[in-house]
Structure 1
Amino acid sequence: MLIDDMEHHDAVKIMITNMIALEATVGLLRGESPDEIKSRLVKFSRFFSKNVREYAKNLFTPLDPPGLIVIREIHERYGTEGLRAAVLHVVLDYIEQLYLRGYDKERIAEALISGKKERIKYLLEEAGLEDCIYDHLDEILGDIKASKSPSKALTKDLEQHREIVRALSENGVKAIVVEGKPYSLVTGVRKVKSLLRKKGMVAVGLVYGDGVFKEKSIGGLSTGIFHNEYIGDVTLSEIASRGMEIALKTSRDGKKTLYLYRKRWIKSLEELL
C-alpha cells in the first residue's frame, strides 16, 4: 500500500497537522467529491489568514503538498476503506510516540480525546474508528511495549512539563501566548520549550480568566460583542482600552476568541512561573 512507502510514511500525518488537509480528509471520508470539498473549504478559509486561503484555493491541484497528494492517491486507489486505514496508521503512530515519551494508558486515552487540538478525536469519529481504538487500547499498548521501551530522557521531560502545567493551572492561568499566538497550557508549555531550544529567548504572555473573551453571535453572524465569564459582555473597544496585548484565535466555525496578556521575554521554562 502507498502508505507503507518510506517517503510517504510521515507525509500522511498532514491530516492531523494541517487544518485544510484535515477537513479535506474528512470530506473524502464522508463521500464528498473533490469539487464539493474545495468549494466548502474555500468559503471556510475566508475566516483565516492569507496562507490558509491560498492552501484552500489550490486544493486538489498539483500545488497540493506531498502528504495530501498521497491521501488523494490512497482514496482514488483504495476508496474509503483505504483512507480509513491511513487514518488508523496515523493514530497508531501517534499512540506509539506518546508511549515513547512516557505517557501511561490514562494519559494516552486522554490525548486521544484532546490531543492535536481534538483533531485525533475528530478523525476517529469521522472514520468510525473510535470504538476500534478505545476498545483495543490495552492490546495496542501491549504490542508497542513488546518491541520498544520509553526513553528516560523523554520521560523526565514529560514530568517537568506536567509540573509546570500543573503550577500554571493552580495559579489561574488559562492559556499561554507564544510569539503572538495563543495556546492551551499543555501545548503552550511544549511550544515554549521547543522555541527556547532553537532561539534561546522567547516572547510569552500568560492569560488569566479575566483575559479570555469569546465572541457572541446570533444566527451565525458576529455581534461585535465579546463575553468574559468574570466581567460579562463588552465591546472590542472596551477590551482594547485595557491597555494589554491582544491575541486572536479563530475556531473552525469562524468564531473568535480574544486573549489579553502582558508580553515578556524569557530565557528558561522556569521563568513561566
Structure 2
Amino acid sequence: MTEHRTTTARRVALVTGGSRGIGRESVERLAADGFAVVVTYAGNKAEADAAVAAVVSAGGEALAHQADVADEVAVAGLFDAAEEAFGGVDVVVHAAGVMALAPLVDLDLDVLDRMHRTNIRGTFVVGQQAARRLRNGGALINFSSSVLALALPGYSAYAATKGAVEAITLILARELRGRDITVNAVAPGPTATALFLDGKDEETIAKMAAQPPLERLGTPQDIAEVVSFLAGPARWVNGQVLRANGGIA
C-alpha cells in the first residue's frame, strides 16, 4: 500500500475500481478538484500504484488499497484505512464492476453468479459502509449503465445487475434522510474503456459509436466530469440516475 498522509481538513474520496477506466479517470479528476483519494483495486497493484503516482506527481494525495468489494470485512478494512490515513471519508465513488455478455439462453450460470456477486452484492456492501461512515455533507456515487434502457440483446444478465444498482441507489437516498448525504448513480452509455471494447469487433464499435446524436463513444473523461459534479457542487441532486450517454436514450 502506498500512502501519503494529510495534515489538513481536505475532503476525502474513496474510489472503487480506481485503477483503470472510468474509475482511474475519476481518481485523477477528484484529486484535481482537491480531494485526497483512496484508490481501491481488486488485483492489479501495479495499475493502482500508477494511479497513485499520477495523483502525487500532480501535487495531490492518494493511497492504494486492495479490497474485494463484495467482502464486507475487506470493505470495512478499506474504510478503516481511509480514516486512518486521511481522517474520514466524504465521497464514495463505486465504479468497480464486471461485465459478461451472452444471450440469456447461453449464459453460464456461474458467470451470472460472479456478476451478481461483484455488481449487486458489491454495491450493497459498499453502500452499507458508506451509509455508516460517510461524513455529513458527503456523497455516494454508484454506477449503473445506459444499456438498462436500451434492452440490447446479450446484455440481459449485466443489465439485470445494473437494475439492482439503481434500485439500491434510489432507496438508500431516502433511507439517509437527515444525514445531508446524497446518493446518486451515473449510467454511462458506450464509453471507450477496456471493459466496453474487449471482445467487440470494429464494426460493432463503429455502429455503437454512431448511435448517439453526438456520434461518438463517450470517454472516461466525460464520465469523470459527471462524477466531479455529483461529488462537489450537486448538493440538490439526490436519489437520481444520471444517464451520461450523449443522448442515446
Higher helix fraction (1 or 2): 1
Structure of larger gyration radius? 1
Higher relative contact order at CA 8 Å, sep ≥6: structure 1 or structure 2?
A: 2
TM-score (norm: length of structure 1): 0.25
TM-score (norm: length of structure 2): 0.27
